[in-house]
Amino acid sequence: MKNLAQNLPEQLFTPLQTAKNQPPAINDQRRLLPLVKSRAAATALLKLGITTVGQFLATPYERVSGTRGLRLRTWQKIADTITAGSHNRSVAGDLLPDSLRGMLLQQLQLPPELLVLLESLGCKSFGQAMGLAASTWKSGGQLGPFAAEELRTALDKTLAPVLHGDTAAQITSELDWSTICGRLLGPLDEDDRDLFCKRTGFRTAIRSSREQAQSSGHSLTEVLLQEVKIRSQLKLRAPSMLAKLASEARQELSRHVGVLRNDRLAAGSSLHTIAEASGDRELPVRLLAFLFPEEFYDHGGCLSALPVSARLQFMRELRAMTAPRLLPRPITEIEASLKRLVADVPRGLLLHLLADRFRLHLHRDELRGEMVLPQQPEIAARIREMLTDSGRPAQLADLLLDYRERFHVASRQRIQSHLRRDPSFLEIGPDIWSLRGWHVDELAAAKPLAESVINTICERGGRHAVSKMVEGDYRLCFVVLDLVRSDPRIRNLGRGEVCSAGQKHSHLLAQLLHSFGQAQGEVVYSRFIANQTQDNRRLVERLLHENRMFVFPDLDRIDLLSNYPFHAHRLERLLTVVDNYLKEHDGHALLSEVLVEVNRCDLGGSWLNPKLLGEILRRHGDHEVLPGDFIARGELALGSWLLRRARNALRAANLPITVGEILAERPELAKYRSCLQLLLQRDPLVQTPDGMHFQIA
């Protein structure tokens, strides 16, 4: 028997070996640190970001030769260890199906000690264990012959019920709550049952592994080993129960395209029974994540097959692609961008993160399909709630009074702006607002008339009032106006007037360009505004301050950008140079410093001053220009950050103080002294009796 045991590993594994000198795969995802014996080398590898075997093999030693703890001899020892334990494929191994090669070792009924030892060698699946070197399984090897016997016995116990059809029959049977509790808790002794309940929240408060270790007085490693033991016992003594739960979880993931949510479980399933009978809707998710840690992952109330590491990168990329300045955006475009991270993007998980985690609004557009809209403002949500409670359209004045009664403070201008911006509201009369969902049939009936109006506007050109083109009551006019304004062929000019989107400039803008063309240079801004008619003055001011065609080369001077040498290519180069400079200087700098960098790149000249440079960057790039000639990347929201810190200092003082006293309390604001006073003077929440002392209004 002893000789048989000694020869057993070779009989089981030797036919599955490949050529001895075959190099490991560069994309090997095994963890590297268990194969590193030197603590200094492990620390150095972590600092370099080399955590897998594939990353190690893809890194030449010359790149890390100067790193402390990674001498050439140490590097070679790690490489030899990888070669000795590489997971090679063989001709005999190729005959096995991928499902068997990919079977996780935690699914087998292995002793916890052997499972931990195999994972320390980088083996997580049956195929990887079969690919270990033959010397590993011989007497004196890292595992030895009896480990091979344990592995073969565990595989036989796992596959035998499936081959005989016993598990398949048990999976289809329905289980009640008491039976499920007995199947899951019966195989465990008292200590294991207590840990199982606390880790999953089964009939008790949930605890993490670290919290359980602290409360029990054991080390975290001991708790983790006990968890592995619990899974092994359940797989050994309740295989049909675990197979049923895993089968239902896979069906839910398939049904909901990559996500399992506790509020969408199929009625009659064991998972649904667990959620309903226990009174804990999240218990099925925690239970599956605990029992199958290598297959299902808990992402805070939902389950997916996306590993935690991949999910973190997935969420970072998704958050970057749904920044407010990039929305609205089609979901198909976001999916296409995410495919470089995940080949098969789980659409269900994607929609769950967008709607429930990021609180973004999903809207179906007839032309562009499903769209991701920015986060709905709290004011819009409150107005929607008020209209829903009343059950009928309301006048703007009534909405304003109702809002003030409920939330104490309301501005007519702000309420009106949210009503106009949010697509869930519909104006059906002069200052009469309703929810769009109440008028679906009415909008559909008015669509042919709106299409006729759009065609007429595009054919005639120029500016048109929609109310003069529609015959009927005022309600029909407003419904048609809403459809016309939302059409991409039309440009909304406000006050019920529209024009063709193909029209290059509005009538007023064409007049401005003509006036500046006659001036042939800079214009005195204050005098130019004073010469405008009262009806046009406000719109002209807005155009001159916001339109990209104009710039302020000086405080009271306005000019056309076309009078300066900034065509599209030079403008793109300028934005690139400034962005790179700001990235190297914490995202913000003085305009005078940026100007020096611009002049070094032959993009400037004596005619370019900090004021003009700030105007160009503010209008054409994602930049914020602050008083005192500060410029910052828009994503930093530097102005808002400065005001929040300054307001906190004013609240703490509770009496009027100067900017110098604010800086004494908030020294991190010292370098922004030149712009802080001007920001406070413009802040509507701050009062200043003498222009020097400030307090919260």
What pLDDT digit, counting tens, does each position of 312-340 carry? 788 888 888 888 778 888 888 888 888 88
pLDDT over threshold 90, residue 394: yes
For position 160, what pLDDT does the model report? 62
49, two tokens: 């970001």
Q: What distance in Å separates the CA atoms of residue 136 and residue 145, rounded to the nearest whole number? A: 9
**Average of per-residue pLDDT across 539-551:** 86
Distances in whole angstroms, Cα of residue 22 to Cα of each of 36, 83, 86, 123: 21, 9, 9, 18
Maximum mean pLDDT: which of 137-146, 436-445, 505-514, 639-648 = 436-445
**Average of per-residue pLDDT across 220-247:** 88
Q: Is the peptide bond before 328 cis (omega within 30 degrees of 0)?
A: yes
For position 26, what pLDDT does the model report? 53
46, two tokens: 């972590």
For position 48, what pLDDT does the model report? 82
What are the contacts of 191-194 at 24+ separation with CB within 8 A? 191/226, 192/226, 192/229, 192/230, 192/233
**Average of per-residue pLDDT across 555-574:** 86
CB 248 within 8 A of CB 270: yes
By the 10 Å C-beta count (0-12 exposed, 13-18 middle, 19+ buried), 470 is classed as buried
**Average of per-residue pLDDT across 651-667:** 85
pLDDT over threshold 60, residue 162: no
Q: What distance in Å separates the CA atoms of residue 373 and residue 365, rounded to the nearest whole number? A: 11
* 657: DSSP letter: B
pLDDT over threshold 60, residue 580: yes
pLDDT over threshold 60, residue 21: no
pLDDT bucket at 356, cuts 50 / 70 / 90: confident
pLDDT bucket at 20, cuts 50 / 70 / 90: very low
CB 102 within 8 A of CB 130: no
Q: At what angle do helices 378-390 and 412-421 cross, to 10 degrees?
A: 90
**Average of per-residue pLDDT across 554-570:** 86
CB 346 within 8 A of CB 304: yes
**Average of per-residue pLDDT across 525-541:** 86
For position 83, what pLDDT does the model report? 67
Least confident of 280-289, 310-319, 653-662: 310-319
131, two tokens: 């690919």
pLDDT over threshold 60, residue 19: no
Residues of the chain above pLDDT 70, percent? 89
pLDDT over threshold 80, residue 543: yes
Least confident of 161-175, 292-306, 455-469: 161-175
502, two tokens: 């193909």
**Average of per-residue pLDDT across 99-127:** 75
**Average of per-residue pLDDT across 336-357:** 82
- Contact residues for 91 (Cβ-Cβ < 8 A; gap 6+): none
Least confident of 21-30, 468-477, 560-569: 21-30
pLDDT bucket at 395, cuts 50 / 70 / 90: very high
Burial 393-409 (b: 16+ CB within 10 A, else e): bbebeebbebbeeeeee
Strands 550-554 and 490-494 come out as unpaired
Locus of tokens 């929305």 = 327
**Average of per-residue pLDDT across 542-567:** 87
Residues of the chain above pLDDT 90, percent? 5
CB 619 within 8 A of CB 546: yes
Residue positions counted in the chain:
697
pLDDT over threshold 60, residue 9: no
Q: What distance in Å separates the CA atoms of residue 24 and residue 585, rounded to the nearest whole number? A: 43
Number of neighbouring beta carbons within 10 Å of residue 372: 24
For position 165, what pLDDT does the model report? 45
pLDDT for 70-106, tens place per residue?
888 888 888 877 766 554 444 445 566 766 777 777 7
CB 341 within 8 A of CB 310: yes
Least confident of 136-140, 216-220, 635-639, 649-653: 136-140
pLDDT over threshold 50, residue 578: yes
Query: Between residues 516 and 300, which one has the greater pLDDT?
Result: 516
pLDDT over threshold 50, residue 170: no
> Average pLDDT of the chain?
81
* Residue type (1 letter), 88: N
The DSSP H or E segment spanning 11 is: helix 2-13
**Average of per-residue pLDDT across 188-200:** 90
For position 22, what pLDDT does the model report? 39
